[in-house]
Amino acid sequence: MDTSPSKGNILIVDDTPDNLRLLSAMLTVHNYEVRSVKSGSAALMVVQAEPPDLILLDINMPGMTGYEVCQHLKIESKTATIPIIFISALNEVFDKVKAFSVGGVDYISKPFQVEEVLVRVETQLNLYRLSQQLQDRNDQLQRTETELRRSLQQEQALHQRIEELAAVAERHRIAREIHDSLGHALVALNVQMETALDVWQEAPDEAYVLLREAKELGSEALRSVRESVAEIRTDPLQGRSLTEMLSQLTHNFQRTTGIEVQSQLELPPALSQAISTAIYRVVQEGLTNICKHAEATTVNLYLKSTQDGLALLLQDNGKGFHLDANRSGFGLQGMQERVSALGGHLQIKSHPNQGCRITALFSEVGRSGAA
């Protein structure tokens, strides 16, 4: 028994039993699965139930001609692509042209030769399968194109969202820069002016000195505004070391406020520009808040390298506050954002009459830029 795989499923439609037997036997021997019917109406029912790979269709049949059967099949999308080879004793050119015009793919004249039938059947089956493969490939390409368009739309939407978030982040960054640089200078200026007013009557010379310092602070504030708005001042350290700038910051703070600052700075030999800037801004904002709100007499500032990273401590002995009631301040928010943006962790602890303690830990200390 031949166990070779089937070469295709073929339906033979012919009202002549001898033709059906001859074609069926010929094709079965060559590993085709064959079904046969004697009328056009029967052919339509069989095809609708189980579409074949190819149809051998006689033209002259009672009730419904082969032309009519072909036309019915080509109307339905389910059966429109099935290749139909007409078989007929009609050899006039008109008959052959009509066979092709109604949708036939080939024409075999009776009496037919075995070799001719086999070659034409195999050729049309191969063409049909190649057509199906091409259609499948086109469908796949269309699906791929649809997916690519959808992905492109999603990418464009994501890109737009990223740009929007970047714009918001940039506005926040600029706002922090203006707040941190200008806020500190204005608070110091206010302290100087208030002190000058307090001593004006009793010590005019001292008041004059304070006013001159206030004028310098005002000029510094004006420069900070111009630099921040124009985004020129990308480096608040101005190319100097973090240790030097923190020492200058605490010295000026102690001089203008009278609040004693005890500092201990133990920095690693190299520190990234980003972390240096963040530390400077956190200390600057912390000192500004102490000056404005704490009513402190002593401030402790410590910077030290630990096994976990670079640790910062800024602590005062002022009146403290309830944390829940002070969450909306832009300064505290700016501190959190600066440290978090660098993968660090910042914590603020405070209670009424117990001062305030700010700690920050930078676990990844960069190696670009000297500290």
Residue 17 lies in a domain: yes
Percent of the chain with pLDDT over 90: 41
Residue 26 lies in a domain: yes
Instruction: Look at residues 130, 134, 128, 104 and name the one whose alpha carbon lies nearest to residue 52.
Output: 128
- Helix (H), strand (E) at residue 331: helix 330-341
In the numeric block, which tokens belong to residue 80?
């429109």
Residue 195 lies in a domain: no
Q: Are 240 and 370 in contact (CB under 8 A)?
A: no
Q: Are 78 and 51 in contact (CB under 8 A)?
A: yes
Per-residue pLDDT for 3 more than 80?
Answer: no
Per-residue pLDDT for 292 more than 60?
Answer: yes
CATH number, domain of 332, equals 3.30.565.10
Q: Are 37 and 47 in contact (CB under 8 A)?
A: no
- For residue 149, what are the CA distances in angstroms to 136, 142, 146, 163? 20, 10, 5, 21
Residue 217 lies in a domain: no
Per-residue pLDDT for 73 more than 60?
Answer: yes
For residue 84, what pLDDT band results from cuts at 50, 70 and 90? very high
Instruction: Look at residues 32, 207, 38 and name the one whose alpha carbon lies nearest to residue 114.
Output: 32
All residues at 6 or more sequence positions from 337 whose CB lies less than 8 Å from its CB, including other chains: 172, 176
In the predicted model, what is the mean pLDDT of the chain? 83
Residue 86 lies in a domain: yes
pLDDT digits (tens, 9 = 90+) for 99-141: 999 999 999 888 888 888 999 999 999 998 898 898 888 888 8
Q: Are 7 and 50 in contact (CB under 8 A)?
A: no
For residue 180, what pLDDT band results from cuts at 50, 70 and 90? low
Between CA 32 and CA 28 the distance in angstroms is: 5
Determine the structural domain holding residue 294 and report its residue range: 238-371
Number of domains in the chain: 2
Q: Which of 94, 112, 130 is the last residue of a domain?
A: 112
pLDDT of residue 321: 87
> Which amino acid is residue 9, in one-letter code?
N
Q: Which of 112, 146, 180 is the last residue of a domain?
A: 112
Residue 59 lies in a domain: yes
In the numeric block, which tokens belong to residue 94?
């008109």
Between CA 283 and CA 33 the distance in angstroms is: 88
Q: Which of 49, 84, 112 is the last residue of a domain?
A: 112
Per-residue pLDDT for 368 more than 60?
Answer: no
- Looking at residues 49-77, what average pLDDT do you find? 92
pLDDT of residue 370: 36
Residue 92 CB coordination number (10 Å): 9
Residue 194 lies in a domain: no
CATH number, domain of 57, equals 3.40.50.2300
Per-residue pLDDT for 167 more than 80?
Answer: no
Between CA 278 and CA 291 the distance in angstroms is: 20
Pairing of strands 33-37, 345-350: unpaired
Residue 91 lies in a domain: yes
